[in-house]
């Protein structure tokens, strides 16, 4: 399951059509990162580089010019290196497999850049890439120094981020198919975890169940560090230590999603280690679930992005008052953000090649209206610190989040992570079979 070569070319064409003539886009994918001594982390291409090229190897540069013509600079073919480290596509592979109009080995970066930037009016690149920014400045200065020999240095620089972010924000049918598969692999992993948990297990042992299903299903790695948080650990939003023993009576919060073809899934479920919610756990869980359902209704074409968060906050705040965790009028508690003691994150984010995908949430100062093809998470939660002495002790140390991935469609929201238990009765039924 992958994006077709034709789609990469169409993306480059569409990008260039938005730029003035004589623009050159420059991207780099980044280098292998050392883990320790001579061991590297597995390489993962830069998301926007990958979006426009599909090229998976480290150390590569891409120049896009004209109507989308790609020049790829790659690591050279090297039989000895390939004997130790594996296959490289090299120059020929860049042309034949990745549709590059031209290709060169990375040692030829500077002369290739001079050639391509000579006579270009503007260079378009990610301003966030400081190293590339420095290289481009050097290439430009070197061209300017050769002006008397006829070289023409580019005069304008433009940030690629807003252009590529807006493109990546709307997913096409190929992307949606991969994302639904990543979502469904993740659903299976969460089902496996819910069916195998028991008090006395260590959090990492439950994490192993997730990784097993991801890998067995073809997703070689998670899209982000797995969060397997029992008891009060669930109140740490990005808890990744995953090294404690799961106790009888704990809730377990798992936030984990597979990465497939570089696309992310992002799911959270919270369930009782012993298979049965206690009364306070069930009360808070039902509140988060009600907030989820209220938020989901707002995920409609044309609705402002902020609406689903606001709907969730209203349900959560009113519920916290009804349960006695907050005192006062919900309207005032929302205005002064009193709910943030228990709910300190937003109700979702864009999802795609990055788990927190690119794309602004406001356009011209206004909350962005939702469009068909956007994918986002919905993830309301409640977190009661174990040290919160202002609430009855039965609530303390409970952390709950429910998270699904949703595609915005004309005919209403479509939950890509469908089929995973989230109602209390569904979770308890699934766990009793485990």
The piece of 173-181, 229-237, 395-403, 423-431 that touches Mn ion (CB under 5 A) is 395-403
Q: Counting contacts by CB under 5 A, is residue 226 touching Mn ion?
A: no
In angstroms, rounded to a whole number, what is the distance separating the alpha carbons of residues 74 and 372? 36
Q: Name the residue with tokens 């990958």.
A: 50
Please state the closest distance from residue 250 (CB atom) to ligand GLY, in A: 20
Contact string 386-405 vs ligand GLY (x = CB under 6 A): -----------------x--
- Of residues 99 through 128, those in contact with Mn ion by CB under 5 A are none
Active site residue 248: no
Q: Counting contacts by CB under 6 A, is residue 379 touching ligand GLY?
A: yes
Q: Counting contacts by CB under 6 A, is residue 207 touching ligand GLY?
A: no
SS3 38: coil
CA angle 131, 136, 142 (to 5 degrees): 130
Q: Counting contacts by CB under 5 A, is residue 357 touching Mn ion?
A: no
CB 293 within 8 A of CB 282: no
Best CA proximity match to 265, nearest among 52, 407, 162, 430: 407
Distance of CA 220 to the CA centre of its chain: 16
Active site residue 115: no
Rounded alpha-carbon distances, angstroms, from residue 212 to 42, 103, 205, 218: 18, 39, 11, 10
Beta-carbon-side half-sphere exposure of residue 165 (alpha carbons within 13 Å): 15
In angstroms, rounded to a whole number, what is the distance separating the alpha carbons of residues 301 and 359? 17
Q: Which residue is nearest to ligand GLY (CB)?
A: 255
Residues touching ligand GLY: how many (CB under 6 A)? 7
Q: Which of 214, 224, 271, 383 binds ligand GLY (CB under 6 A)?
A: 224
Active site residue 403: yes
- Of residues 302 through 361, those in contact with ligand GLY by CB under 6 A are 349, 355
Nearer to ligand GLY, 99 or 399 (CB): 399
| From 266, 354, 404, 405, active-site residue | 266
CB 140 within 8 A of CB 117: yes
Q: Which of 226, 318, 377, 417 binds Mn ion (CB under 5 A)?
A: 377
224 binds, among ligand GLY, Mn ion, none (CB under 5 to 8 A by kind): ligand GLY
DSSP summary character for residue 312: H
> Length of the chain in residues, anyone?
434
The structure tokens listed for 181 are 């598969």
Please state the closest distance from residue 349 (CB atom) to ligand GLY, in A: 6
Nearer to Mn ion, 203 or 266 (CB): 266
CB 376 within 8 A of CB 354: no
Active site residue 293: no
Best CA proximity match to 51, nearest among 190, 164, 215, 218: 164
In angstroms, rounded to a whole number, what is the distance separating the alpha carbons of residues 358 and 240? 23
Please state the closest distance from residue 230 (CB atom) to ligand GLY, in A: 17
Please state the closest distance from residue 312 (CB atom) to Mn ion, in A: 13
Q: Which of 129, 161, 266, 405 binds Mn ion (CB under 5 A)?
A: 266
Q: Counting contacts by CB under 6 A, is residue 266 touching ligand GLY?
A: yes
Neighbour-count burial for 3-24, b at 16+ CB within 10 Å, e otherwise:
beeebbbebbeebbeebeeebb
User: Applying CB under 5 A, which residues contact Mn ion?
Assistant: 255, 266, 268, 377, 403
Active site residues: 38, 238, 255, 266, 345, 349, 356, 379, 383, 401, 403
Residues that bind ligand GLY (CB under 6 A): 224, 255, 266, 349, 355, 379, 403
């Amino acid at each position: 399951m992958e994006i077709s070569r034709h789609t990469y070319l169409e993306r480059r064409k569409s990008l260039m059509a938005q730029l003035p003539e004589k623009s050159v886009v420059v991207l780099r994918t980044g280098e292998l990162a050392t883990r320790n001594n001579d061991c590297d982390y597995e390489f993962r291409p830069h998301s926007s580089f990958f979006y426009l090229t599909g090229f998976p190897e480290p150390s590569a540069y891409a120049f896009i010019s004209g109507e989308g013509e790609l020049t790829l600079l790659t690591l050279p073919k090297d039989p000895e290196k390939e004997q130790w480290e594996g296959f490289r596509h090299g120059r020929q592979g860049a042309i034949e497999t990745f549709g590059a109009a031209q290709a060169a080995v990375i040692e030829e970066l500077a002369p290739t850049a001079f050639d391509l930037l000579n006579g270009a009016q503007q260079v378009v690149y990610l301003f966030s890439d400081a190293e590339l920014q420095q290289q481009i400045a050097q290439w430009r200065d070197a061209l300017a120094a050769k002006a008397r020999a006829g070289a023409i240095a580019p005069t304008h620089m433009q940030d690629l981020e807003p252009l590529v972010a807006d493109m990546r924000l709307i997913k096409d049918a190929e992307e949606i198919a991969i994302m639904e598969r990543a979502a469904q692999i993740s659903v299976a992993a969460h089902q496996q975890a819910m069916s195998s948990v028991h008090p006395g297990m260590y959090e990492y042992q439950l994490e192993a169940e997730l990784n097993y299903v991801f890998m067995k299903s073809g997703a070689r790695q998670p899209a982000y560090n797995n969060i397997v948080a029992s008891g009060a650990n669930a109140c740490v939003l990005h808890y990744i230590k995953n090294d404690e023993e799961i106790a009888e009576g704990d809730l377990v919060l798992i936030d984990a999603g597979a990465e497939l073809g570089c696309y992310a899934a992002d799911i959270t479920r919270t369930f009782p280690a012993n298979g049965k919610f206690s009364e306070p756990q069930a009360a808070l869980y039902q509140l988060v679930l009600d907030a989820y359902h209220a938020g989901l209704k707002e995920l409609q074409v044309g609705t402002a992005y902020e609406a689903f968060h606001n709907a969730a906050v209203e349900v959560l705040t009113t519920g916290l008052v009804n349960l006695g965790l907050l005192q006062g009028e919900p309207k005032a508690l929302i205005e002064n953000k009193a709910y943030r003691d228990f709910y300190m994150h937003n109700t979702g984010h864009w999802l795609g090649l990055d788990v927190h995908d690119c794309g602004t949430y406001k356009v011209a100062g206004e909350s962005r209206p939702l469009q068909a093809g956007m994918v986002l998470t919905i993830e309301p939660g409640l977190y009661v610190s174990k040290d919160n002495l202002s609430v009855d002790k039965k609530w303390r140390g409970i952390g709950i989040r429910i998270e699904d991935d949703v595609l915005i469609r004309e005919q209403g929201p479509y939950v890509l992570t469908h089929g995973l238990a989230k109602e209390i009765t569904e979770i308890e039924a699934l766990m009793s079979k485990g």
